Amino acid sequence: MGKQKATIRTFKEMKQKGKKITMVTAYDYAMMSWVDKSDIDLILVGDSAAMTMLGYKSTVPIDLDTMLVFNQAVSRAGEHTFLVGDMPFMSYEVSTEKAVENAGRIMKEGFMDAVKLEGGERMAETVAAIVRAGIPVMGHIGLTPQSASQLGGFTVQGKDFTSAKQIFKDALALEEAGAFAILMEAIPAPLAKLITEKVQVPTIGIGAGPYCDGQVLVIHDLLGLFDRFVPKFVKQYAKLGEEIQKALNTFAAEVRGGAFPAADHCFNMQEEVVQQLTAALQEEGLL
Ligand code: KIV
């Protein structure tokens, strides 16, 4: 039997039963069709697409219309996987009304099952408004890449008493606002443990240690497809970039050496048709 699509209730039950939740990012149809056949519980069409798919240096430049293209591609292959669409920078900060409207576009035009946005206490009212509109929201606290400039770069957050306490309060505020899950990025494992034990909603960690209710990785990092940098918290489960390079070099060598295409890759024609065609072309002076 194939996998059954999870719901937000499934994730809560998984937390209660101590069953770990697994999540990766996905951005396109081909990759999503493999993810959909895997044991992964949910995916995020992350704004990390700005870096992994479009080559920007941060997640800031990507806009909602571009994200919707990735959402739609993923949704066409994501039949058995819960789909979360990231809200890009400036699609939810300007006003609560705009945030609800844009979250609605991600659901209606992007065919996602939920949205994710960055920020804790400061975004709680926005999260509550989107939830009131009937849209499930995943929060994102700790290192929030859209505000990396303000945070002093892509660095671990919550190492000192004051910032750790703020992150703890951020988690409480998101739970209170109705978030169905909280993604925690680059925070110390003991802080993630305190939060996970306190809140009733599942926590999903990336660089947040083993005590979270689930784990997420950017799929390009997990598969070894992104070589600009590899964060400390990433484990590469494959080196597909190297495999791709090997396959491309073999193709180039076989084309140059005449081994490709072989007979198996060619369409044939009856010999008498070839002769007839040659004779006709010669008669017309075309050969
Ligand atoms: O956009 C993204 O890929 C993320 C990661 C933290 C999973 O938000």
| pTM score, whole prediction | 0.95
Same domain, 49 and 144: yes
Largest CA distance in the chain: 91
One domain, residues 65 and 196: yes
How much is the average pLDDT of 5-20? 97
Pocket test for ligand 1, best of 21, 44, 84 (most atoms within 8 A of CB): 44
Which domain does 85 fall in, by range? 8-238
Atom of ligand 1 nearest to the CA of 46: 1
Residue 49 lies inside a defined structural domain of this protein: yes
* Ligand 1 atom closest to 140 (CA): 8
Q: CA 107, CA 240: separation in Å to the nearest integer?
A: 32
Residue 24 sits in the same domain as residue 99:
yes
CATH number at residue 86: 3.20.20.60
pLDDT, residue 2, reads 75
> What's the half-sphere exposure (Cβ side, CA atoms, 13 Å) at 197?
8
Active site residue 185: yes
Q: Based on the domain organization, do 249 and 231 belong to the same domain?
A: no
User: Which of 48, 106, 225 maximizes ligand 1 atoms within 8 Å of its Cβ, making it the mutation to test the pocket?
Assistant: 48
Distance CA 146, CA 89 (A): 6
CA–centroid distance, residue 140 to ligand 1 (Å): 9
Q: With a cut of 70, say whether residue 1 has pLDDT above it.
A: no
Tell whether 2 is covered by a domain.
Answer: no
CA dihedral over 44, 50, 53, 57, signed as positive or negative? negative
Whether residue 104 is predicted with pLDDT greater than 90 in this model: the reply is: yes
> For the chain, how many structural domains are there in total?
2
Q: How far is the CA of 280 from the centre of ligand 1 (A)?
A: 63
Q: Which long-range contacts (CB under 8 A, 24 or more apart) does 235-238 make?
A: none
* Token pair in block for residue 238: 């494959």
pLDDT of amino acid 64: 98
> Same structural domain for residues 263 and 129?
no
Domain presence at residue 160: yes
Give nearest CA residue, ligand 1 atom 1. 46
Judge if 144 and 214 occupy the same domain: yes
Question: Do 133 and 264 fall within a single domain?
Answer: no
| Same domain for 159 and 275 | no
Taking the C-alpha atoms of residue 136 and residue 128, their distance in angstroms, rounded to an integer, is 10
**Ligand 1 center to 56 CA (angstroms):** 15
137: Cβ contacts below 8 Å, ≥ 6 apart: 103, 114, 115, 116, 117, 127, 130, 131, 177, 178, 179, 180
Of 222, 238, 254, the last residue of a domain is: 238
Residue of the CA atom closest to atom 2 of ligand 1: 46
Average pLDDT of the residues in 283-287: 97
φ/ψ of residue 216, rounded to 5: -130, 145
Domain shared by 169 and 249, yes or no:
no
Exposed (0-12), middle (13-18) or buried (19+): which is 70, by Cβ within 10 Å? Answer: buried
| Same domain as 206, residue 265 | no
Note whether residue 1 is domain-resident.
no
